[in-house]
Amino acid sequence: MKLRHYSSLCLAMVLVPSGVWAAGFRLSTQDAFAAGRGEAFAATADNPSAIYYNPAGLTQLKGLQARVGSYNIYLAPGFEANGRRFENQSKWHVVPQVFAAYGLEKWPVTFGLGVYSPYGLGLKWAQDTGFRSIALESKMKYMTAHPVIAVEVLPGMSVAAGPTFNYSRVDLKQGVFPVDVGDVFRFKGDDEDVGYTAGWRWQPHAKLALGAAYRSRTTMAYEGYTDLIPIYSHLDARLRFPIPHNVVMGISYRPTEKWNLEFNADFTEWSRVNQVSLDQAFPLPPFVLNWRSSWYYEVGVTRYLDKGWSLSAGYIFNESCMPDAFFNPLVADTDKHFITFGASWRGQRAGLDLAYQFGYGPPHTVRGSAVSAAGQNADGRYDFTSHAVVLSFQWRF
């Protein structure tokens, strides 16, 4: 009975925090210019990273352009209980992105290809937090290759679509007993899956643009093994985890050529993540999560200056998707606020973007979370702070 209970709890560890510790485990930051304006980019979408934010925006580009960047994040969530404080021990992460687009000169068609990480990272807690039988450590890698075609079907109106080829690997650990006696339950595995995206953009007026993008559901069936140290090692296992769909809608207003203001509403169907199953020789019940769907609300502004320079700023509010009754410290999802700033330069061929992102989660006290067979729960006071620097370099061939 205990083996089954602890094995089930390990499934929660796949729910790795996102790059900005947003709801669930999304990495929503894929470009420095977009990050500088609070990710409010679905209606603007005027560089090759539109492949992620809204591929329909690619029809604004002509010729061959490439964009390379990295998202460099310092994650510092904290936990307090019984007068003691703990912080995440896996703080630094670097996530690369590569985008390329080729717009035909004589036809309203643009081809794009992106390679990026829409989910991932990891978290590590100390052994003596009081919830080691619920959560210890997780690592997740998730890479997507995303070809896309965008077509301007009417003057000012474009559509786009393309498949996503996804590969992911997870390495998840938790304790069995409430104190460390050399015991570890671990799952390690990988899988690949195929999804798709679609985008729409309409600019009815020079001052106004509307945009929307859709990312489909996928399901990862991680093939690998479990270890229950010191009882057994490398028992074949499969972890099945649903990835939700996502819809973003945006409106951009340019009162003059020097200003661009945008608002985005970004919905993720986290309610699809209601349970996770682990199949192996020992039958295990599914692990119940019962997440809630949630929204990002993003506001951004860019001021275009002389000689190719521009400055941006933005704000993001991110709703929590995790109810207290099913709270897990490896996500520790609460409502969060993000403030961003960015600076950009565009030359005749080259471009450079730099953004800073500060994240803050007001303290949230969890009460009534599920109790493990070892008598532990995730109750306590959680807070969140993050700092990120995002850098992107662009070249027009």
Residue 10 has pLDDT above 70, yes or no: no
Identify the pLDDT of residue 20: 35
Residue 121 has pLDDT above 90, yes or no: no
Which of 55, 97, 54, 58 is CA-nearest to residue 248? 54
Residue 41 has pLDDT above 90, yes or no: yes
Burial class from Cβ neighbours inside 10 Å (0-12, 13-18, 19+) for residue 121 reads buried
DSSP 8-class letter at 170: E
Segment of 20-29, 138-147, 301-310 carrying the highest mean pLDDT = 301-310
Quick check: helix, strand or coil at residue 348?
Answer: coil
What is the average pLDDT across 364-380?
82
Tens-place pLDDT, residues 151-185: 999 999 999 999 999 999 988 888 888 888 888 88
Which of 88, 148, 96, 99 is CA-nearest to residue 122? 88
In the structure, what pLDDT confidence band is assigned to residue 284 with cuts at 50, 70 and 90? Answer: low
Cross-strand bridge partners of residue 302: 260, 312
The structure tokens 């709890």 sit at 9
What is the average pLDDT across 332-348?
92
Burial class from Cβ neighbours inside 10 Å (0-12, 13-18, 19+) for residue 234 reads exposed
Q: Would you say 318 and 296 are in contact if contact means Cβ atoms under 8 Å apart?
A: yes
Quick check: helix, strand or coil at residue 121?
Answer: strand
Mean pLDDT, the chain, integer:
88
User: Structure tokens of 189?
Assistant: 């595995």
Identify the pLDDT of residue 283: 65
Identify the pLDDT of residue 11: 36
In the structure, what pLDDT confidence band is assigned to residue 16 with cuts at 50, 70 and 90? Answer: very low
Concatenated DSSP letters of 295-328? EEEEEEEEEE-STTEEEEEEEEEE-----GGG--
Residue 287 has pLDDT above 80, yes or no: no
In the structure, what pLDDT confidence band is assigned to residue 12 with cuts at 50, 70 and 90? Answer: very low
Q: Would you say 353 and 33 are in contact if contact means Cβ atoms under 8 Å apart?
A: yes
Identify the pLDDT of residue 135: 80
Which of 251, 280, 295, 353 is CA-nearest to residue 30? 353
Tens-place pLDDT, residues 297-319: 999 999 999 999 999 999 999 98
Residue 324 has pLDDT above 50, yes or no: yes
Identify the pLDDT of residue 340: 97
Rounded CA-CA distance 153/110 in Å is 12
Tens-place pLDDT, residues 49-85: 999 999 999 999 999 999 999 999 998 888 888 888 9
Rg from Cα positions in the chain: 22
Angle at 98 between CA 19 and CA 161, to 5 degrees: 90
In the structure, what pLDDT confidence band is assigned to residue 97 with cuts at 50, 70 and 90? Answer: very high
Q: For the whole model, what pTM was predicted?
A: 0.88
